[in-house]
Structure 1
Amino acid sequence: MLCSDLDGTLLTTKSDVSHFTVSQISKIKEQVRIILVSARMPKSMKYVQRDLGIDEQPIICYNGALVLDGKKEIHSIFIQIDALSQIHLLAEKNNVQLGIYCNDEWYVEKDSERVQKEIRYTKANPVFKNTLETILDLKKRKLGAHKIMLMGTKQKVDIIFPILRNSLGNILHFYRSNDTLIEVAPKSVSKLSAIKLLLKKEETLANVIAFGDNYNDLEMLKNVGCGVAVANARHEVKKTAKHITLSNIEDGVAHFVKGHLII
């Protein structure tokens, strides 16, 4: 099983895989299951699946909080409404914007440069709605958030990040995906825990090759049989990985596949 992160790893541009990557994956996809593993929402992953010709494979969304096999839900766990409300209050106090994700729904309160970047990069459109109304609607439907994204300036994110970890770090994962973004996921899930759900009876983690670049890939790369970091990965990720390949913009995943998996 080959598992790959998308942003900064498999995607050569901010939103697409290259023709070279498609060609190399096509040479192994009959022998190796290709599983996309991302913090993205389902619709922002499925177009990559289609480009790679691996529509029949499961996808791991929201850092493992949602695992889908076609329309079948294999696993789903939410950030509960109480925690979501606490994060909303802290975000308001620190003038940081929230993005709330549930299944294939994405809610933000207002448009911004960051929101427009997300629309371009992930090929998904949000619903513009008051955050408190969104929370009340999710509560009414007995749902929660698969992921929360906090968006602000570096200065604001620097301030709120330790506050969030101190307040809710016992039940939630907080990742700095870059200087201006924090991604939030349930503590009980990770990319690694989701990969374990997809192992067949005769398989172990030793049978898995995984590619990544960021903090939320650390556990995955450390525990699979072959963890590979792209050259643009964070220093800690490269230290953890067993191999380092070229950067994402140099088709690092595809070159590793060509050099190690294609006979």
Structure 2
Amino acid sequence: MNFKYLFTDIDGTLLSTGNDVSEMTISEINRIKHRVQTILVSARMPSAITYLQKRLGIEGLPIICYNGALIMEGNKVIDSTEIPTATLEALYDITKDRKDIHLGIYAEDEWYVEKHSARIEKEKFNTQVSPTFMPISEAIAKLKYQNRGAHKIMTMASEEASKAIYPILQAHFSDSLHLYRSNATLIEIADKRISKLTAIKDLLKGQHASLEQVIAFGDNYNDVEMLEAVGFGVAVANAREEAKAVADAITDHHKEHGVAKAIAKYIP
């Protein structure tokens, strides 16, 4: 198969541990990098992706952040789709009195949260990034003063609280926002105009390339559209059933170097 581009999700797909890639994955990507561009596409913020680029030896290539809301190449912003501060304020008004729900706001390479928690510590470990601690109301005011929006909002809550708030947020924001439960306790929120697939299409358009020249890897709900649309979509063994259903192939579990094994098989 003559692929020119490899797009891969990170968490639950590319990583063999919570925050790192395996030597086998590094070796396979380095083997093909002179003929296939490997582009990381994730819900993560830029600095939580670029350290992995360095590990993989693919610095300088574009990255797709926040599920497609921000595309960067080095320090250059290629495309940016922000959630307006008016929407941030409306969402904050709904959640601010719920002591069991905490917000994280992401804007370009900034991450704002109100206080330390076990969830924040886990996120810091997994992404190798530390947040700025300040009241969410102040973070929104800061972005508003700078005439900026946010690229992603994340709600952090117990499983019960997350389940309860999700339909409320859907009722208020389903016309303008994607609301995606990345696990039982997290809801990731981005502008409805974007997705991983829209970002991939934008990048390929600039390269005069087609989706047929792409192999892509993923595991979760936000990867389904991407896996279905590209020339060859591969789901890891631990993927959601919805992702497996649209994939052209299923490789091993992410902890068993599934992406590396698929590269070896499909890009010899």
TM-score, shorter chain, exceeding 0.5: yes
Which of residues 78, 81, 91 in structure 1 aligns to 2:82? 78
Deviation at 1:92, TM superposition (A): 2.0
Greater than 3 Å deviation, 4+ residue runs: none
Counterparts of 1:227 and 1:215, CA distance in 2: 14
Aligned-residue Cα RMSD (Å) equals 0.9
Give unpaired runs (5+ residues) of structure 2: none
Match of 1:148 in 2: 153
Q: Is the Cα–Cα contact under 8 Å of residues 91 and 150 in structure 1 kept in the other structure?
A: no
Secondary structure at the counterpart of residue 97 of structure 1: strand
Q: Is the Cα–Cα contact under 8 Å of residues 94 and 160 in structure 1 kept in the other structure?
A: no
Counterparts of 1:219 and 1:86, CA distance in 2: 29
Q: Deviations over 1:55-76 (max 9, x none)?
A: 0210000000000011111001
Which of residues 6, 9, 12 in structure 2 aligns to 1:5? 9
Counterparts of 1:86 and 1:221, CA distance in 2: 33
Q: Deviations over 1:215-253 (max 9, x none)?
A: 111111111111111000111111111111101000000
Counterparts of 1:260 and 1:240, CA distance in 2: 18
1:98 is the counterpart of 2:65: no
TM-score, normalising length from structure 1? 0.98
Q: Deviations over 1:114-144 (max 9, x none)?
A: 0000000000000110110110010000011
Identity %: 50
Which of residues 104, 109, 115 in structure 1 aligns to 2:114? 109
Match of 1:182 in 2: 187
Q: Deviations over 1:94-116 (max 9, x none)?
A: 33100000011000001100000
Counterparts of 1:168 and 1:142, CA distance in 2: 21
Q: Deviations over 1:169-205 (max 9, x none)?
A: 1100011000000000110111001001111554211
Superposed, which structure 2 residues align to 1:12-91 within 5 Å? 12-91=16-95
Superposed, which structure 2 residues align to 1:159-170 within 5 Å? 159-170=164-175
Q: Is the Cα–Cα contact under 8 Å of residues 94 and 156 in structure 1 kept in the other structure?
A: no
Q: 1:143 to 1:117 in 2, by over 3 A?
A: same
Counterparts of 2:197 and 2:132, CA distance in 1: 30
Which of residues 250, 260, 263 in structure 1 aligns to 2:266? 260
Superposed, which structure 2 residues align to 1:180-219 within 5 Å? 180-199=185-204, 200-219=206-225
Secondary structure at the counterpart of residue 7 of structure 1: coil
Q: Which moved more, 1:113-122 or 1:86-95?
A: 86-95
Secondary structure at the counterpart of residue 101 of structure 1: strand
1:229 is the counterpart of 2:235: yes
Q: 1:201 to 1:116 in 2, by over 3 A?
A: closer
Counterparts of 1:253 and 1:91, CA distance in 2: 38
